[in-house]
Amino acid sequence: TRVYAPVRTVALYGYLQAQGDPPLPQLRARAECWAWGVPLPTGLYNALIFADPGTIKAQDGQSLEQRFQAMLAACGMSDAGALGGLAGPVRALDATPFLDEAPIDGHMVRLGDAAMALDPVSSSGVQKSIQSALAAAICVNTELSRQDQSAAARAFYRDTLRRTSRRHAAWTGAHYARAMSRYGTGFWAARAGPQETPAAAP
């Protein structure tokens, strides 16, 4: 059973032709969204926009591709230069953080994004997927070799994911709160948590 964050986020992404030397990786924000882009070895440039579902919807008769390019331009993504037209269709997918409350039982274990999705602003999904695989390997080994400890192993895996999800929700909420203090819009406010106070150095 997946438990999603209370506010849904949609990722809109596409691949752009790079003209000459493509722009370096970029991270941009605006009042209604944030955007990320990275050059690929193929000569294409992968760009993503994260926003509320209502903001992503095409407006005034725009196609999804036109909406995507307009939002990239509004973020200043194309200001870095050397970006041409789209190299394929623009796609949208759900980027809402979630936690699976039953990621393991006696017959299966869910790893990575099948078990938990972090807010994309954390930029640590791959790292956490690898860590979940390492933790799951311990649990599977326990299930196979020490069945008397299987319940403890499953609890360990569930608790590991739960703690990670909560910790990242707090971190990303603080990031959104800092951005909300600058932009003051509903997109940032809906995702904002209390700003973190840095811990004193030991």
Given a contact cutoff of 8 angstroms between Cβ atoms, the answer to whether 197 and 171 are in contact is: no
For residue 110, the SS3 value is coil
Distance CA 26, CA 47 (A): 9
> Which residue is it, tokens 């739960």?
162
- Rounded average pLDDT per 10-residue block, the chain, 202 residues: 93 88 84 92 91 82 87 76 82 94 92 92 86 91 92 94 93 92 93 69 62
pLDDT for 81? 59
Distance CA 31, CA 33 (A): 6
Distance CA 129, CA 134 (A): 9
